[in-house]
Amino acid sequence: MKLFKHCVLLFSLFLFLSCREEKSSTSNTSEKHQSRQQIKIDYPSLLDTLLVIQNEIMHAPDNKGLQQKLLLSAFDSISGSFLAAGTGISPIDQKPVIAEQLRLRTAKMVAQRWALYLKAWRSGNSVQFGDSISGTITYNTEVYSKMRNDTLYLIVQIPVGSIGM
């Protein structure tokens, strides 16, 4: 009988300790997951930053320093994706619903074009802004947009792996 009690006691102790270790490893995993989720991107500031650097690149397309500056600002290392900005202006002669769709399509195309340049620059290609560039983007997500007057400003998240060149 004593042997049985000792076996039950040892088994209970073993079970208690193993459950405790499992709980602590689970909480560590959830803490890491929460810390990654707590990193919030300030999209309005990011949009302004991307647009300023893009404008600088348009005026100095061969400036490698500006290309690197845009790469650093636009690459999200946690998700492995580019955050590219695009703008779309409302056509005056269209109905409001159609104008809104065209504005969104234009802003996405502009952001995707910037993503193609970003991928090329990240890969070490010395293509300048304004040079012909082509590729396919299989996936993108709109993460932020705002309207100013008749212009839509948009940030699109594009995983690096979804950009084919």
Region for residue 124 given its phi and psi (left: phi exceeds 0; alpha: psi -120 to 50; beta: otherwise): left
* 43-59 and 64-74 helices, crossing angle to 10°: 160
Taking the domains of the chain in order of start, what are their residue ranges? 1-39, 43-164
Confidence of residue 133 (pLDDT cuts 50, 70, 90): very high
Instruction: List pLDDT tens digits, range 115-130.
Output: 999 999 999 988 999 9
Tell me the mean pLDDT in the region 41-64.
Answer: 96
Two tokens at 97?
């619903």
Tell me the mean pLDDT in the region 152-163.
Answer: 96
Q: What is the value of pTM for the model shown?
A: 0.75
Confidence of residue 38 (pLDDT cuts 50, 70, 90): low
